[in-house]
Amino acid sequence: MDLVLLGPPGSGKGTQAERLTLAYQIPAISTGEILRAQRLAGTRLGRQARGFMDRGELVPDEVVIGIIGHRLDEPDTQTGFILDGFPRTVAQAQALDALLAQLERPIDAVLYLEIGRQALLDRLGHRHRSDDQPEIVAHRIDVYLQQTAPLIDYYRERGTLRAIDADQAEEVVFASITSRLG
């Protein structure tokens, strides 16, 4: 099963990705985690991404697409994967479609975790990551709304979008996801 988790920062993508990994025995691929690890390790990729991340901006498409392409070549993704945090733009979605077409692996479902802005601000205010400072959080939500929200229409038009009310307890959200996957 090949899945995409779509939703703003703080919507619960990482939490639900972990639960889906356990339930379906497929890896969750978090571009945010990969980028943070590369940044901490001081790699070339980490240095490229650092400035964008510090400003709460999206890392350029070519960097992120390269990460995903490399990761999908690894053996543990052959039975499926969960993309958490990618794609974030329509251009990235189109690049992902092209990559998956080459691999003959279409996306089975795009799980859109819907949640209101105030609930996001409340949730993100309780995390303790360097990119969760109040001004950066507000900017990340704005960036999401401007650049990522068009993906909702993109995937809805393709018939793969499954909207999930993410402003609930994580167990309720997970039950909703699994029921939508069939």
Catalytic residue among 39, 88, 123, 162: 88
Residue 140 bears catalytic tag: yes
Catalytic residue among 47, 127, 158, 180: 127
Predicted local distance difference test score (pLDDT) of residue 130: 65
The Cα 110–Cα 181 span in angstroms is 10
Beta-carbon contacts of 3 under 8 Å, excluding residues fewer than 6 positions away, are: 20, 26, 80, 81, 82, 83, 107, 108, 109, 110, 111, 181
Give tens-digit pLDDT for 67-83.
Answer: 888 788 889 999 999 99
Residue 105 bears catalytic tag: no
Which sequence spans correspond to the domains of the chain? 2-175
pLDDT-derived band at 177 (thresholds 50, 70, 90) equals very high
pLDDT above 80: residue 123? yes
Positive or negative CA dihedral for 35, 40, 43, 48?
positive
Contact 32/22 with Cβ under 8 angstroms? Answer: no
Strand order in the sheet with 28-30: 28-30, 81-84, 2-6, 109-114, 161-165
| Share above pLDDT 90 across residues of the chain, in percent, rounded to a whole number | 49
Tokens matching residue 104: 């003959």
Residue 88 bears catalytic tag: yes
pLDDT above 80: residue 163? yes
Catalytic residue among 19, 39, 123, 140: 140
Residue 47 bears catalytic tag: no
For the chain, the farthest-separated pair of C-alpha atoms sits apart, in whole angstroms, at 42
Catalytic residue among 47, 55, 129, 180: 129
Predicted local distance difference test score (pLDDT) of residue 15: 94
Predicted local distance difference test score (pLDDT) of residue 87: 92
> Is CATH 3.40.50.300 the right assignment for the domain spanning 2-175?
yes
pLDDT-derived band at 129 (thresholds 50, 70, 90) equals low
pLDDT above 90: residue 125? no
Q: Mean pLDDT, to the nearest integer, of 49-78?
A: 85
Residue 158 bears catalytic tag: no
Contact 10/16 with Cβ under 8 angstroms? Answer: no
